[in-house]
Structure 1
Amino acid sequence: MTDQQPALALRYQLNLEESQDGFALAAFGKKQFTRFMTPLISIGIMLWGIYLGFAGVGRYYVALGAFFLVLQAVMRYWFLPMVFKRQFVKYQLGKSEQGIELFQDHVELYVNGRKQVFAYSAVRHFASSDLTYMIEFNNRMVVIVPKRAFANAADQSLFENTFKK
């Protein structure tokens, strides 16, 4: 990679499905374990209630755990996607062109004609899902890059290897 020409230059527009996929990576935890932490706690509360027995206070624990589990499912799979879709449509986020260019010692991001430059050391977290890549910088800025934006497997491999630590 040289500083004159980028090793990889991508331009893309995110669609709703890719935006939701990237949002899920950023919001629900970067690791599989953290995604399932709160549902496991709710199940644990229910199991504790079963252990205490339904005749006494245990039934309240079972009901509380079930309530938390249902509330988490509603928030994660219905409410948050609905709100995200509404905001995506309202602010027309899919119509803005975005881009990323990789150089030897820095990355340049393009959003709505504005350029931002970040050193690779400013990358806090890199994650991958089925449709997208998510890059989180030290200043808490999150960039979502769709996998369909890559022309070939070599470009995709270069991108992954650049951000994996």
Structure 2
Amino acid sequence: MSEAKIALTVSYLLNLEESQDGFKHITLGKKQITQFITPLISVGLIIWGFYLGVNSLGRDYVILGAIFLLVQSLIRYVLLPQIFKRQFVKYQLGKSQQTVELSQNVFKVTSQTHERSYAYSEVKRFVEGRLTYVVELKNRVVIIIPKRILTEPQHKTLLENTFKRI
């Protein structure tokens, strides 16, 4: 049996900013509409409170909506990034080297602990972020590939075209 020709091989260590970018795209970026529902409900409560009148029952709705909006903002933009940073540092997630090899029918992901091959048909979603590319597989495996390692334009084009055609 002949060995499949490898079109692209990239090895990398993720830094904190790249991990956060990939994590953001895989969690918050999944359903664009759902990340706006709870803030819209909070704003709706505030508007309803002003409609009822700030001197009566409406004051309670305005306060409730403002508290909900503040709590949501704190969780999304302060608490979750701090928790992620703490876990990243504690478990030294960026210290494990990962290698991705693209060939004609499959791509191989190698880390320090194991090596796995995946068919391109197993790719569920491919997202291009600010610092990374995120490949999500149907079995919920997520592969984060930093853009900085693709130094040549043809490598970037090859990677994007390979996963975007899925």
TM-score, normalised with respect to structure 1? 0.90
1:58-137 equivalences under 5 Å are: 58-137=58-137
| Equivalent pair of 2:5/2:104 in contact (CA under 8 Å) | no
Separation in structure 2 between the aligned mates of residue 44 and residue 68 of structure 1, nearest angstrom:
11
Query: 1:16·1:94 contact (CA, 8 Å) conserved in 2?
Result: yes
Give the structure 2 partner of residue 57 of structure 1. 57
Deviates most, 57-66 or 150-159: 57-66
Q: Does 1:139 align with 2:151?
A: no
Amino acid in structure 1 at the alignment position of 2:138: N
CA RMSD of aligned residues (A): 1.8
Separation (CA, whole Å) in 1 of partners of 2:40 and 2:112: 41
| Structure 2 gaps, min length 5 | none
Q: Is the 8 A contact 2:134 2:144 kept in 1?
A: yes
Distance (Å, rounded) in 1 between the aligned partners of 2:60 and 2:147: 46
Q: CA deviation at 1:117?
A: 1.1
**Cα deviations across residues 29-49 of structure 1 (Å, max 9, x unaligned)?**
235444433322322222222
Instruction: Show the 5 A alignment for 1:22-41.
Output: 22-30=22-30, 32-41=32-41
With over 3 angstroms needed to count, the CA separation of the structure-2 counterparts of 1:133 and 1:38, relative to structure 1, is farther
What does residue 21 of structure 2 align with? Answer: 21
TM superposition shift of 1:90? 0.8
SS at 1:36's partner residue?
Answer: helix
- Code of the aligned partner of 1:85: K
Residue 140 of structure 1 deviates from its aligned partner by 0.9
CA distance in 2, matches of 1:21, 1:45: 32
Gaps of 5+ in 1: none
Percent identity among equivalent residues?
A: 51
Q: Would you say how many aligned residue pairs link Structure 1 and Structure 2? A: 164
For 1:163 and 1:47, the matched residues in 2 are separated by 44
Partner of 1:157: 157
